[in-house]
Amino acid sequence: MITPEQQAAFVAEAPEIFVPIPGGWGRNGATHVVLAKASEDVLLGALRTAWKLRVEKNQKSKPKRAGAKPAAAQERTKRNKR
């Protein structure tokens, strides 16, 4: 899902391709894409925009585990216990 601001830009640029979903989902950025009218480049750009936003949100919300060891340190601990 893209932001409402991004949705507005997509709809303004290509209203025949991008259509806000009616109701609350649309106000939050959910958007229909008319695939029959979308070129591969336009669709790829829209998907990359949504993907980048999701990656950024995921990075911000990753919980920090207290006392967690890096993977290399965990592997050394396993080997030392053998």
Q: What is the pLDDT of residue 26?
A: 85
Q: Is 1 helix (H, G, I), strand (E, B) or coil?
A: coil
Tell me if 66 is assigned to some domain.
no
This prediction has a pTM of 0.65
* pLDDT tens figures, 23-54: 888 888 899 999 999 999 999 999 999 999 99
Question: Is residue 46 one of the residues assigned to a domain?
Answer: yes
Number of separate domains in the chain: 1
Rounded to an integer, what distance in angstroms lies between the CA atom of residue 25 and that of residue 70?
Answer: 39
Q: Is residue 39 part of a domain?
A: yes
In a domain, 18, yes or no: yes
- Is residue 81 in some structural domain? no
Query: Domain range holding 31?
Result: 4-61
